Structure 1
Amino acid sequence: MERRRQQKNQDKGAPKWMVTFSDLMTLILVFFILLFSMSVVDATKFRAVAESFQQRAIFDFYPSLIPFENPAEDISVKRDPSDDVNDPFNDVRKKEKDNDYDLDQLFQEVQEFLQENELNDVISATRDDRGVVLILQERTLFESGEAQILDGAKPFLTKVGTLLETIPNLVKVEGHTDSRPISTFRYPSNWELSGARASSVIRYFTEINDLDPYRFLAVGYGDTRPVVPNTNDTNLQKNRRVVIVISDPSYNQNELF
């Protein structure tokens, strides 16, 4: 009787290995369910996220994975850099795009002024890809080693400022010196002198002609960009100059500035 009872007790329930196996299968099933749930994308939520990024122009160069209802509003259209409200050149760039200003006419008026006043020997005007480029020799604008504009240079600068009043183009003013060192209390080196001379020209435009200061950039190159070798007095004189670049709107502004 005892043997039969023991045998019946042993026959109850599943084998022990089956319990372990079922637990393992359950864990594997849960694991695959988790993988599947993470791999499924909520199209509605993804669309909302994508559209919010579209408005912020973050996906300017990447097509959307989900087509939008209005293809005309697709983010493949690049954002206009002039939309950046923090860029101080916005108003100037927009005016340049909205209007077709004729730099050739400005160039012609400058040339006529130089001829009428016999200034071609000390001031040159050229037209290239950058725009209208005016090169003023040092003796026209300043005393040696100084950055205060001479009275004789003011009529020409006033003429240029008057022409700039009719166009919104950006203007870069470069100061250049020769290779002779300078060391004064005001100008410890040619860097300070060249930068001060470029700034003096811009200050004249903004004060006398009341031009927008955001249109201008002053750059002091010192003696790093000579047009001729600094080997004699004539060449030294040519390298001491101020260059005014009235930019062409079609020119890459990043290269100019």
Structure 2
Amino acid sequence: MKRNRKKKQGGAPQWMTTYADMITLILVFFVLLFSMSQINLVKFEALAESFRNRMIFDFYPSAVENDYPTEQAKAQENGEKNNEYELPDDDKEQDKEEKKDAETEDLEELKAEVDEYIEENELGDIISATQTERGVVLVLEEQLLFETSSAEVLDGAKPFLSKVGTLLDNIPNFVKVEGHTDNRQISSFRYPSNWELSGARASSVIRYLLDQTETLDPKRFTAVAYGETRPIAPNDSEANWSKNRRVEIVILDPEYEGSN
């Protein structure tokens, strides 16, 4: 007697049915979420406006290369793709003026503090502070800073230089330190001429400022040797020779040509 064999029914496997039911439920869930959501146009417009006029993209218009680089190049040449996120010219000019005013105010405050220090310590005969188109210029005569034919900073000059270092730490301006001598020539093993002496003195002042105020950036400083080429008085007397032997610390105005 033959056994009756059940014929296998065709169709998808059982796991496929369960999987399809799950996908359907997920779809219904997201449809419900979408149907319940509402877009607040007022908030959307406010959010969109907040992105306007702001340079928030490092790669504008796109960090992805154009599929048609030739057309992109032509568009850039024709000025068709300007950065709409740049600040208007009026705002740029206003920011520039405000920055300039702040920098000028900083220099004026620095000079005022230096003047007060000079007056309190009765140093007016050997230190002067003036404000010129270059910036604030501090003129320190040799007798305050160095022994004759030497570039080692004297102890008597260190309090004033420390004060200058503290003031410079509060502003970002570049600083040029210039060494000057009189017209009498020096010739020694260490300093073969006035050029070496004036350069060494300017460098010594910068080195002391940086050593005492470690937060100062060395990149802000420039040492310049002028030797006897820029006298401020005729080299015809002991008093005038003394005036010409000096170091000038120039806190540069950013607007001055060649300030950095």
Q: Secondary structure at the match of 2:151?
A: coil
Please state if 1:187 is matched with 2:199: no
SS of corresponding position for 2:102: coil
Q: Could you tell me how far 1:71 is from its partner in structure 2?
A: 6.6
Which of the residues 134, 143, 165 maps onto 1:130?
134
Is structure 2 residue 105 aligned with structure 1 residue 100? no
Q: Is the 8 A contact 1:97 1:249 kept in 2?
A: no
1:129 & 1:164 partners in 2: Cα distance?
18
| Structure 2: distance between partners of 1:110 and 1:70 | 48
Structure 2 CA distance for aligned equivalents of residues 50 and 229 of structure 1:
64
Offset at 1:103?
1.1
- C-alpha displacement of 1:67: 3.6
Structure 1 residues 97 and 213, CA gap change in structure 2 (3 angstroms): farther
**3-state SS in 2 of match to 1:162:** helix
Match of 1:176 in 2: 180
Q: Deviations over 1:206-246 (max 9, x none)?
A: 11111110010000000011111211111111110000001
The equivalent position to 1:70 in structure 2, one of 64, 78, 82, is 82
Query: Matches of 1:186 and 1:197 in 2, distance apart?
Result: 12
Percent identity over paired residues: 58
Structure 1 runs of 4+ with >3 Å offset: 44-51, 69-74, 96-99
Give matches, 1:230-245, under 5 Å: 230-245=235-250
Alignment equivalent of 1:114, drawn from 95, 118, 122: 118
The within-5 A match list for 1:12-161 is: 46-49=70-73, 64=77, 66-70=78-82, 72=84, 100-101=102-103, 102-161=106-165
* Letter matched to residue 223 of structure 1: E
Distance 1:100 1:159 in 2: 22
Measure how far apart 1:70 and its partner are: 3.3
Taking a change above 3 Å as real, the CA distance of residues 97 and 216 of structure 1, as seen in their structure-2 partners, is farther
Report the residue type matching 1:100 in the other structure.
A
Task: State the Cα distance separating 1:45 from its structure 2 match.
Answer: 5.8
> How far, CA to CA, are the matches of 1:47 and 1:177 in structure 2?
63
User: What SS is found at the alignment partner of 1:100?
Assistant: helix
CA shift digits 1:7-63 (9 cap, x unpaired): xxxxxxxxxxxxxxxxxxxxxxxxxxxxxxxxxxxxx66544467xx7xxxxxxxxx
Superposition pairs of residues 196-211 of structure 1, within 5 angstroms: 196-210=200-214, 211=216
Residues 178, 110 of structure 1: alpha-carbon distance in 2 compared, 3 angstrom cutoff? same
Residue 160 of structure 1 deviates from its aligned partner by: 0.5
SS for the counterpart of 1:183 is coil
AA partner of residue 146 (structure 2): F
> If the length of structure 1 is used for normalisation, what is the TM-score?
0.64
- Aligned residue pairs, count: 181
Which letter does structure 2 place at the counterpart of 1:237?
S
Query: What are the superposed Cα offsets for residues 123-169 of structure 1, whole Å, 9 maximum, x if unpaired?
Result: 00011111111000001100000000000000000011111111111
Amino acid at match of 1:143: E
Residue 104 (structure 1) shift: 0.7
Alpha-carbon separation, structure 2, partners of 1:50 and 1:226 = 58
Structure 2 counterpart of 1:217, one-letter code = T
1:247 matched to 2:247: no
Change (3 A) 1:50 1:240: farther
What do residues 108-134 of structure 1 show as CA deviations (whole Å, max 9, x unaligned)?
Answer: 110000000000000000111111110
Residue 198 of structure 1 aligns to a residue in which SS?
helix
Note the alpha carbon deviations across 1:147-201, whole angstroms, 9 max, x for none: 0000000000001111111111110000000010111110000000000000000
| TM-score relative to the length of structure 2 | 0.64
